[in-house]
Amino acid sequence: MTDMSKASTGPGVHSLDHFAVQVPDLDVAEKFYTTFGLDVQRSGNELKLGCFGQDHIWAVIKGGAERKKLDYVSFGIFKEDVDVFRGRLEKYGITPDEDNGESIWFHDPNGMKVELQVAAKSSPSSKRIPQPMPCTVGGRAAPFRREITQVHPSRFAHALFFTPDIKKTLDFYCEVLGLRISDEAGPIAFLHGIYGSDHHLVAFAESPSGGVGYHHSSWDVGSIEEIGLGAMQMEEGGYTGKGWGLGRHVLGSNYFQYVRDPWNSYVEFNFDIDYIPEGMYWEPNMDGPAPEDTLYLWGPGVPEDFVVNYENE
């Protein structure tokens, strides 16, 4: 359990701006993320992942690695807060690897490569209110399958990363980066931003085998229907490996469908997650709910290897 009295009282990061992962085969990655419905831009030995209709790059996938590996995580900060973060890192005993005034690179206490980048807020500033499904009387509400177009997520929602020491991680990300704990569930913790964000913009899971790593990224869609259609488009695209869903989380309340990627991490179709407005104090469940009331309200059972860090196996 993290002592919330240690949490910083000043500025915090406002967004998980983007993250980067290394993979062995960029062609395989391009096919997977294109099938998932993202706007995939290829440049040299990198893929840049965005959402159609937006300019923001949410993830960078780098090719040529021996195996899948988390490269770095980049958080967005406001320009007027740079000196505050610089001072916190110094107080914590962390010397930046690089600091050009707009971007500060360092390694967190567990060895994860992190950037604090001056950037516009990309996390949502309000709750997206779900629209009701159409209801008809005396007619057919469902469209024909031949009329369905590809599901395209509207935005990046959050990511979950592995860490070898959850307590050390929470201490650092609360004290130095100014994040707040939303809930803890055993070895998993969910953190939100103080300027308004979803229930979590980043989460961490303690890795049984040690080491840092990338578990999943989550992408927002507009309905449960789109989650189901997204799952179907992935299956029709050949991605039939054991994922998880359809279901509904307890912590965060969002509906979900996880699809296993070719390297045993996941992408998630996400819909209707809880939102924590700026200035609100969210009472975190620090001890974690009972095991049967932790990860999902309903849905299929959790895959046995769901929290295995394959980057450290």
pTM of this structure: 0.94
**pLDDT(6) > 50:** no
Q: Is the dihedral of CA 21, 24, 29, 32 positive or negative?
A: negative
**Count of beta carbons in the 10 Å neighbourhood of residue 199:** 22
**pLDDT(277) > 50:** yes
Average pLDDT over residues 30-35: 98
Q: Do 259 and 231 form a contact (C-beta atoms < 8 A)?
A: yes
Task: Tell me the C-alpha distance between 117 and 81, whole Å.
Answer: 11
CATH class of 4-119+153-303: alpha beta
pLDDT band at 282 (very low <50, low <70, confident <90, very high): very high
Average pLDDT over residues 240-249: 94
- Give residue 136's pLDDT: 78
Give tens-digit pLDDT for 97-126.
999 999 999 999 999 999 999 999 999 999
